[in-house]
Amino acid sequence: YTRGTVTAFAPFDARADAEALRKAMKGMGTDEETILKILTSRNNTQRQEIAAAFKTLFGRDLVDDLKSELTGKFETLMVSLMRPTYIFDAHALKHAIKGAGTNEKVLTEILASRTPAEVRNIKQVYQQEYEANLEDKITGETSGHFQRLLVVLLQANRDPDSRVDESLVEQDAQVLFRAGELKWGTDEEKFITILGTRSVAHLRRVFDKYMTISGFQIEETIDRETSGDLEKLLLAVVKCIRSVPAYFAETLYYSMKGAGTDDDTLIRVMVSRSEIDLLDIRQELRKNFAKSLYQMIQKDTSGDYRKALLLLCGGDDD
């Protein structure tokens, strides 16, 4: 990944950072500025080294100290930055299916956008960390076609990108057309199977062919033919097949558009994409919504929370 806004900091000294963080939290009052500057400018691997050095030097847990010294959204953001990358998604999914009510939005965002390799990793980590099977947990909390598509995505068996077979492209486009626009009612199974298992390169061609055959974008058909959580998940899958950064640009845009901010989504996307493709996401946001991510954050957030998000954003696009 080379399109992140956060990269390895050099020269890096885990002990010096640990000492600076301890000093920032010791005694009366907290020096938030130091905390946010260090944690937003080190990559996740380095943050884990700082946490280890912190424990070695002071016999204290850095995350526990952050939780006791900070509050609100700023605390949530700093603690999220400290979560090891490989656990991040598993942790988010666990919280999305924990307790009363399921957060379908989180399930949709993560499972639609991660690569098959990433999904396999999430399942493995989930099993190790929580001694539970992620698929069982998700099927216990969801139902219907929404559940089926989630299960298909959890199998992480999408065809690898290879040479695209045009005759199969034509066939899939026809099947989708017959399953949706041409049918009274919708054959959701066909959409689930094709969108959940074909390769990215193949599906991009299918979407083009579909447009030629039907005169509609596949998104328009999904919008008309399905509803609720299934519709949102199908659309997310299609958008991620087209462009993952464009999907996250849209997710960030709507997390801040209008009254109120969806801070959970804002934090989750900024942290999880900061070392992967946040530069591309910024570009897509500017291209598709004529907005600068930096300026949206500036307008929608405040205090140390804003400062930290702006540093993660890595600059303005104007």
Q: What are the CB-based long-range contacts (under 8 Å, 24+) for 112-118? A: 112/153, 112/233, 112/236, 112/237, 112/239, 112/240, 112/247, 113/236, 113/240, 113/244, 113/247, 113/248, 114/89, 116/156, 116/157, 116/158, 117/156, 118/89
pLDDT score for 258: 83
Of 155, 180, 195, at which residue does a domain stop?
Answer: 155
pLDDT score for 184: 72
Q: Are residues 195 and 208 in the same domain?
A: yes
Domain containing 271 equals: 244-313
Q: Are residues 141 and 175 in the same domain?
A: no
* pLDDT-based confidence at residue 318 (cuts at 50, 70, 90): low
For residue 99, pLDDT over 90 is answered with no
For residue 1, pLDDT over 70 is answered with no
DSSP-based three-state secondary structure for 228: helix
CB 5 within 8 A of CB 278: yes
Q: Which of 96, 126, 122 is nearest to 264 (CA)?
A: 96
Dist CA 162 CA 202 (whole Å): 8
Distance from chain centroid for Cα 217:
25
Question: What's the whole-model pTM score?
Answer: 0.95
Q: In this structure, is residue 24 part of a structural domain?
A: yes
Give the mean pLDDT of 8-24: 98
Q: In this structure, is residue 140 part of a structural domain?
A: yes
The rounded percent of the chain whose pLDDT value lies above 70 is 99
Q: Are residues 253 and 289 in the same domain?
A: yes
CB 78 within 8 A of CB 308: yes
Q: Which residue matches tokens 């599906």?
A: 203
Tens-digit pLDDT profile for residues 183-228? 776 899 999 999 999 999 999 999 999 999 999 999 999 999 999 9
